[in-house]
Amino acid sequence: MKAPGEKINSFEVARKQIDIAGEHLNLAHGLLEKLKHTKRELIVHFPVKMDDGTVQVFTGYRVQHDVSRGPAKGGIRYHPDVDLDEVRALAMWMTWKSAVVNIPFGGAKGGVQCNPKQMSLCEIENLTRRFTWEISSMLGPEQDIPAPDVYTNPQVMAWIMDTYSILKGYSVPGVVTGKPIELGGSLGRLEATGRGVVITAVEALRHLEKSMEGIRVAIQGCGNVGGVAAEQFQRLGAKVIALSCSSNAIYSEKGLDVKRVLDRKARYGCFVCETQEEREITNQELLELDCDILVPAAIENQITEENAPRIKARIIVEGANGPTTPEADEILNDKGIFIVPDILANAGGVTVSYFEWVQNLQELIWSEEEVLERLTRIMQRSFKEVLEISLSKKIPMRTAALVLGIGRVAEATRLRGIYP
C-alpha cells in the first residue's frame, strides 16, 4: 500500500496492466516486454519570454509509445504536475485505446510543466509556439499528430498548426486534430470524448437491463469530457447529482440544472450554490456518493485502494485516463461494480480525431450528423467486442479491453517483425 500522500507512478500502473492482460494472451515474453517500453522520448527545456519581460525556462515532453498500427496519436497537456512517467503512461494508454476502437493510430502523449491558470493568453501562445518548434522533428500528419488534453484547447492546436506550417513553408492542417472548425477542425470533435462516455454508459445500462431514465450520475470533472457528458446524460433523462472542478464540487440529491451550474462555474471560476437543495462538497466526497453511475473525468489515480472500499456507484464509466489503480480495480470488481474502462469509455475523442485527420488528408468536410453516426457505430461495436471477451473469458471489462487492444498491437508487431 502507498503511504499517505505518496504519488502513484502512472507508468508503473500501465506496465502492471500489461502483465495482467498478458496472463490471458498467448504472447512471447520478448513481445510482451517490447510493449512495456516506449519507442522514443524527447525532453526539452526551452525559454519563454513572459509579459513582464523576464525569461522563464519550461520543461516539455513528447513520447511515442508504439507506431506499429499507424502514426502516433495523443494529446498535449499543460499542467504543473506533468512528468516523464505520466506522459509515458498516457502514451501507452493511447496505443491501446486506438487499437480497442480499431483505428489506424499508435499512441503518443505530450506535456509541459506549467500552470496555465497563472499565465496570460500571450504567454501561453509564446510557450506553445516555442514548445512546438522544439518537438517539431517528431510531428507530422504521417508521423505524430497532437490533440488537446488537460488545459489545452482548439486555440492551442491552432498555434501548433501555424508554427509547424511556418516551419514547412505551407499550411499543414493534418498535423493536429481538435483544431478550430475554421482551420479544418471536425464538427463534433470538441464534444466527442464526452459523447463517447455517454454512448458506452448507455450500452452498459442496456447490458445490465436498466433504463437511463432517473439514473443518478456523479461526474468528477466539468470540462470537455465531464461537462459535455453531464449535458448529454441530462438530455437522456438521467439525474446528474454532482459535478466537480479542480477546486470544489457541487451536489444536489434532487439533481442539478446542469446548464445553470456550468454557467455559474464559467462566471465565478468555481461551483457556487444557488438553491437550498445544492451544497458544496469535495472531490473525494463526490467519488464516494451513493449513485448509479460514477464518471471520473478529471486526471489519473483518483480511485485507489484507499478509497475504493467506500465507492458506492453501481457502474463506473471512466472519462479520464487511468483514474483507477490496479489495486482499486480488484476491490471494485469484488464489490460487483461494472467498470467501463478508460481505453474504451473515453475513446470517442481519438475516434473523432481520426475522422478529422481523414477529412484533412482527403480535403473533405463531414456534417456533424455524419460524424456522430460514425462515432456511435464505432463505440457501440467496440463495447460489444470488449463485453464478449469479458463474458467468454470471465474477466473484468478492463482486462478484456486490454486483451483486445494489446492483442491487436501485438499481432501488428509480430507481422511487421524485427529489423534486421
Q: Which CATH architecture has domain 39-170?
A: 3-Layer(aba) Sandwich (3.40)
Closest CA to 62 of 130, 129, 144: 144
pLDDT, tens digit, 9 for 90 and up, residues 6-16: 678 889 989 99
Sheet (strand 40-49) strand order:
40-49, 55-66, 106-113, 72-79, 144-148
- Residues 122 and 119: their CA atoms lie apart, in Å, by 8
pLDDT, tens digit, 9 for 90 and up, residues 253-273: 999 988 988 888 888 777 778
- Position 268 scores a pLDDT of 77
pLDDT, tens digit, 9 for 90 and up, residues 52-69: 999 999 999 999 999 999
Q: Tell me, yes or no, if the two domains 39-170 and 192-345 fold the same way.
A: yes
Distance of CA 320 to the CA centre of its chain: 5
- Position 247 scores a pLDDT of 83
Identify the residue with better confidence: 182 or 265. Answer: 182
- Position 5 scores a pLDDT of 55
- Residues 239 and 217: their CA atoms lie apart, in Å, by 6
The domains of the chain are located at 39-170, 192-345
From 78-82, 121-125, 220-224, 234-238, the region with the lowest mean pLDDT: 220-224
- Position 278 scores a pLDDT of 83
Is 109 marked active-site? Answer: yes
Residues 6+ apart with CB under 8 A from 278: 250, 251, 252, 256
Closest CA to 340 of 351, 327, 328, 324: 324
Closest CA to 148 of 185, 100, 105, 106: 185
- Residues 41 and 360: their CA atoms lie apart, in Å, by 27
Grid cell for residue 85: 512517467
Average pLDDT, the chain: 93
- The single residue of 73, 109, 179, 265 carrying the catalytic annotation is 109
Grid cell for residue 396: 473484468
- Residues 140 and 106: their CA atoms lie apart, in Å, by 13
Grid cell for residue 57: 525556462
Q: Which CATH architecture has domain 192-345?
A: 3-Layer(aba) Sandwich (3.40)
